[in-house]
A = this chain, B = another copy of it.
């Protein structure tokens, strides 16, 4: 992989890449694996002083946190999708049903392409600019394809998204409407991923930014903004319990990183919080390892869950999720397809939020733990909805009319 820095301070306060396994540090570059131990690299910062007032005066998007991200200081003036600053909803009705008196839903369906992926892709775009990449790429089966297509269009980058050719028609439309290249691969999602790895090593992919491969250390930092927003929207304090979906595990890991940064910067008090990971039972390798009390994630070869956006059989950040859940006094739990469907409907019925199946997983786990008495019912609790129900309509396809009638008052009266 190649690429040179193209602007002054393109990464803001980001200082270097450090290996999460051995701690080895290296310069900021388009690389994702430690040269010493092949461990995953993540970004370390030299934060200056950052104040609440400074943040509050910023834009209503993730760019209010630009000083805490690997992006240039003027990022808010650049053409991006301006994701983030989504609603934190005080969920009194849902809380009442679950016996939780202080519940909030962080509703990331309000993002530009209606999933949290807009946050991470927006950071990857800035890294692509910095490294001189003019094509943004990824493999995807859904939310990521739309986020990459939209962000590239807006930023004036080319895009090339790879999908399995048997994807649902709706998802193909969403992946292609932004006008970038969309390549369907005859093969499974694993084969698409393997193909992309080959491509990155070839001269064909040399000048390409794969958001979740060679740009991954930058991309992943976008999830920290969920933590920042939650804390700010709670009035600059940390939640006491938080339920986070687990696909690769990156989102959960970065939310924890975000909270710890806020403490270190003196922006919030250092109060304890429990982090709870949520998976679909049909692809729950991290939940299984948690229950088994082991540190090794056994890959799921044939994921079988309606929460397809979480169906990563071999989650890269799984071990870190286990660490955080155990260290914080949280847990990792999973729910069945029926529980997911019921939770999607319960959230819609109680709070008017129509979540994708991943939101059904987090709300379903919340309910499962609340019912079992495994949550503090009075603790300040946040549950994340990471996407939009319009993208997973099949999950609630049994919804329909209460009654079908002739247009007459008598016919209507008979339905009451």
The residues of A with any CB-CB pair to B shorter than 8 Å are: 60, 79, 81-82, 85, 87, 89-90, 92-93, 107, 110, 112-114, 146, 149-154, 156, 163, 165, 169-170, 172-174, 176-179, 181-187, 191-192, 194-195, 198-199, 202, 204, 344-345, 348-354, 388-391, 393, 396-397, 399-409, 412-413, 415-416
Contact = CB atoms under 8 A, between A and B. Distances in A.
A50 B94 CA distance: 36
Given A177-B348, A204-B413, A353-B112, A187 B402 contact: no
A45 to B, nearest CB: 27
Given A351-B153, A391-B390, A393-B170, A404 B165 contact: yes
Contact of A183 (B113, B163, B195, B415): B415
Contact of A179 (B151, B349, B413): B349
Closest 8 CB pairs of A and B: A179-B349, A150-B352, A154-B352, A184-B401, A153-B352, A195-B407, A184-B404, A176-B399
A403 B114 contact: no
A169 B163 CA distance: 26
A111 B351 CA distance: 15
Given A178-B352, A352-B112, A409 B154 contact: no
Contact of A351 (B92, B154, B348): B154
A157 to B, nearest CB: 10
Contacts of A202: 409
6 contacts: A79-B92, A110-B112, A165-B404, A172-B399, A173-B396, A183-B404
